[in-house]
Amino acid sequence: MMAQNTTAKIAAELGFNEIGIYFYDVKTDSEDELSRRMDGILSGIANGDIVFFQVPTWNGITYDKAFIKKLKAYRDVKVAFFINDVPPLMFESNRYLLSKVINLYNHADLIIVPSYKMAIFLKNMGMTVKKVIIQNIWDYPTEAYLEEPVLKKYINFIGSPQKFDFVKRWNYDIALRLFAEKSDELSGNIIFEGWQYTTNLISKLSQGGWGLVWSEENYTKTYMEMCTSYKLSTYLAAGIPVIVPKGISNEQLIKENNLGIIVDSLDEMIKKTEKISIDNYHQMAVNVHRFSFLLKNGYFTKKTLLDSVHALLREKTDEKTNF
């Protein structure tokens, strides 16, 4: 929800008008009621418009299909799907829905995907959309007060112990500074910060240390190689260097800009962080500060949206967008 709302706000700066889609229990609507509700939502659409549809809406695949059917009834409307997440790849229990989700994507004139690897995967699984734009990373606009980060003997992590089991087994000398709801399952060297809202979270993260993006659950790890982590952008916007697993979709971006360290295991992470000098950490923090300027000003979202508009206005695809 935060990422979708942020995208809508950044788009408004470029002159886009927002189409507000509500998240609710769709089953409470009859077919006629749902149709009328969608008519109201789409009342501002005109023939020939370009529409960006952020998916999923989290109202279910049936809702999303009905919405696109309504939208496609307008003459000469071009629809770009902005894929925020792919539920069948997020949760193994939803894998059976993948063919239905890809069938939905095939109604788009253009697809925005988190990574090149995601584009190739979807194509191999049956996606036929030719025009594809790569998002690369989430933006994170914030006006929160940020400190100048310093090397501290802890690693920041945002995530519930119920979802990330490694948190429950944290017994390293370097502490895990955890931002999550309190849990009785926690033990070991953990600094518990509780769940923090955006402004407080960013301010606290900016105090220093590292920002960890990690999962040891195989299905989630595979998804991390294709999706774009909002958690990663949160750390970078706060100004702290990151620790990420090899193979993550943003690996090359992190490496080229020297924004943190890339490791194969938590044990390797401990060894590498122990060897980092204050000067080396400071240089990484300087690099992150420069890079975060782009995130905090919506650069990547603006570029993604404008590139998509240009691609949709061209009659034929070219090498940059043709998959």
The CATH code of the domain that includes 18 is: 3.40.50.2000
Q: Is residue 212 part of a domain?
A: yes
Residue 155 shares a structural domain with residue 101: no
Number of domains in the chain: 2
If asked whether residues 265 and 171 sit together in one domain, one would say: yes
Nearest to 127 by CA among 111, 143, 149, 151: 111
Are residue 69 and residue 194 in the same domain, yes or no?
no
Q: Do 88 and 158 sit in the same domain of this protein? A: no
**206 domain residue, yes or no:** yes
**Helix, strand or coil, per DSSP, at residue 67:** helix
Q: What is the pLDDT along the chain (323 residues), one digit of tens a residue?
A: 889 999 999 999 999 999 988 888 888 888 888 888 888 988 889 999 999 999 999 999 999 999 999 999 999 999 999 999 999 999 899 999 999 999 999 999 999 999 999 999 999 999 999 999 999 999 999 988 899 999 999 999 999 888 898 998 899 999 999 999 877 777 789 999 999 988 899 999 999 999 999 998 889 889 999 999 999 999 999 999 999 999 999 999 999 999 999 999 999 999 999 999 999 999 999 999 999 999 999 999 999 999 999 999 986 555 455 66
Distances (CA, A) of 174 to 151, 171, 210, 215: 12, 8, 11, 18
Is residue 132 located within the same domain as residue 155? no
Known binding residues for UDP: 163, 229-234
Residues of each annotated binding site: 163, 229-234
In a domain, 23, yes or no: yes
Residues 284, 305: one domain?
no
Do 11 and 132 fall into the same domain?
Answer: yes
Same domain for 215 and 173, yes or no, is yes
Q: Tell whether 248 and 131 lie within a shared domain.
A: no
Does residue 82 sit in helix, strand or coil? strand
| Domain that includes residue 188, residue range | 150-296
Q: Omega of the bond prior to 56 within 30 degrees of 0, cis?
A: yes
Q: Which long-range contacts (CB under 8 A, 24 or more apart) does 116-123 make?
A: 117/225, 117/226, 117/249, 118/83, 118/86, 118/226, 118/227, 118/249, 119/323, 120/323, 121/226, 123/323
Asked if 167 contacts 159 with a C-beta cutoff of 8 angstroms, the reply is: yes
Q: Give domain status of residue 321, yes or no.
A: no
306: three-class secondary structure by DSSP: helix
Residue 320 lies in a domain: no
Instruction: Give domain status of residue 9, yes or no.
Output: yes
Tokens describing residue 299: 């650069």
Q: Is residue 33 part of a domain?
A: yes
Residues 288 and 164 in one domain: yes
User: Residue 288: inside a domain, yes or no?
Assistant: yes
65 shares its domain with 196:
no
d(CA 238, CA 288): 9
Q: 291 with 158, same domain?
A: yes
